[in-house]
Amino acid sequence: MRLSNLINSLPPYHFANAKQKILDRQAAGVDVISLSMGDPDLPAPAAVVERLCAAMQSTENHRYPEYRGMRALHEAIAAWFEQRFGVQLTPEHDILPLLGSKEGLAYAATSVLNAGDIALVPDPYYPVYISGTTTPGAEPFLLPLREEQQYLPDLGNIPADVLARTRLIWLNYPNNPTAACADRAFFERVVDFARRHDIVIIHDMAYAEVYFDDFRPMSILQIPGARDVAVELHSLSKTYNMAGFRIGMLVGNPELVDAVGRLKSNIDSGIFRPIQYAAIEALQLPPSWLAERNVIYQRRRDILVEGCNALGMRAEKTRAGLYVWAHVPQGYTSRDFANWLFDQTGVFVTPGTNFGPAAKAMYAFL
């Protein structure tokens, strides 16, 4: 059978491979501790599960759902966004519920990029930024994220011929995998940069609600004029321990939100209604629920960071996000060390180079 050039060019997805390696070792009797990917092990809130089960009992919810989500879910997202970020979204035009934010990343890129275009991709990166770029035939141009620059891309050294073909820039703060955070000044610079060069910003903010102490990550849509050039993706997977529910949202520029909705409605039939009701319940939870959950992650962060530093693997206490980005021991590459650690201890971490050539550290999930 002849498969398409697209399929033949797609590499294996790292996290799917990681799952299989873990299953193989577990089948061999190894007690595996997986720190390799952001799959929360804490349960979804009880109220969310109860709302899901109640909605399952209604036969009306067993039919095809709305292509773009229930009006009540749009309104719940708008209310949550205003309460959290002080940004008003129009439920009808600025919001699109998603089957998890991952599909929104791919659909948004496909809605913007044509063959021969360029997308600016931070390095290290979440792998979907590359596949989302190459699927429509566009080319990635990597922007190295360096520790000495607080893992923020340098927008001032992009060649003019690259900028002339650039249609999109990917951003992700709090960052996966480095856990770096962007401040208002950076977001102001990148919004101005996008407006001057007619570039779309896709900001992946899946880790918006995992934060520590008094820090609160900001939305790029808090910047005046950002909605003219940007969309932002949020996920209930990390926010409310609902990874298996597959529910997220795309918000921001109404033209791109509508375009993604048109593409999506030609591919799937929307989100199962009981899951939409569960999402509404989650978005209405009090801030105290998040605060209690984040205390657990903060304790894990402290233990992991302190352990890494004690072993000579320099790591910083992050302000937000679900990851620790630790330097590997001298004499190892990140891949060699990850393989050694798994073989010797059953602890599975991800080598930094799985996220791009600029990555030299080890990635571990809290």
| Angle (CA) 360 363 366, round 5° | 160
359: which 2 tokens? 């990555």
Is residue 19 pLDDT above 80, yes or no? no
Three state DSSP letters for 56-84: HCCHHHHCCCCCCCCHHHHHHHHHHHHHH
Q: Which CATH number fits domain 47-283: 2.10.109.10, 3.40.640.10, 3.30.450.70, 2.40.110.10?
A: 3.40.640.10
Q: What percent of the chain has pLDDT over 90?
A: 78
Torsion on CA atoms 165, 170, 171, 176, rounded to nearest 10:
-140
The CATH number of 12-43+287-365 is: 3.90.1150.10
Q: Which one, of 212, 217, 208, 216, lies nearest residue 249 by Cα?
A: 208
SS3 170: strand
308 has pLDDT over 80: yes
Does pLDDT of 70 surpass 80? yes
pLDDT at 146 over 80: yes
Give tens-digit pLDDT for 162-201. Answer: 999 999 999 999 999 999 999 999 999 999 999 999 999 9
Greater confidence (349 vs 228) lies with 228
Phi/psi of residue 90, nearest 5 degrees: -85, 115
- Give residues with Cβ within 8 angstroms of 265, minimum separation 6: 67, 68
Q: How confident is the model at residue 235 (pLDDT cuts 50, 70, 90)?
A: very high
Residue 13: predicted pLDDT: 65
Total count of residues recorded for the chain: 366
State pLDDT tens for residues 77-88.
Answer: 999 999 999 999
Instruction: Please spell the DSSP secondary structure of 280-308, one letter per residue.
Output: HHHHTS-HHHHHHHHHHHHHHHHHHHHHH
Q: How does pLDDT run across 244-300, given as a tens digit for each residue?
A: 999 999 999 999 999 999 999 999 889 999 999 999 999 999 999 999 999 999 999
Residues of the chain with CATH 3.40.640.10: 47-283
Q: What is the pTM of this model?
A: 0.94
Cβ–Cβ contacts within 10 Å for residue 229, how many?
24
Across 201-213, average pLDDT: 97
Q: How far apart are CA 294 and CA 301, in angstroms?
A: 10
Tell me how far apart the alpha carbons of residues 159 and 143 are, in angstroms, rounded to a whole number.
11
Mean pLDDT of the chain: 93
> What DSSP letter does each residue of 1-46 carry, written as one string?
-PPPHHHHHPPPPHHHHHHHHHHHHHHTT---EE-SS----SPPPH
Q: How many angstroms separate the CA atoms of 343 and 19, rounded?
A: 16
Residues of the chain with CATH 3.90.1150.10: 12-43+287-365
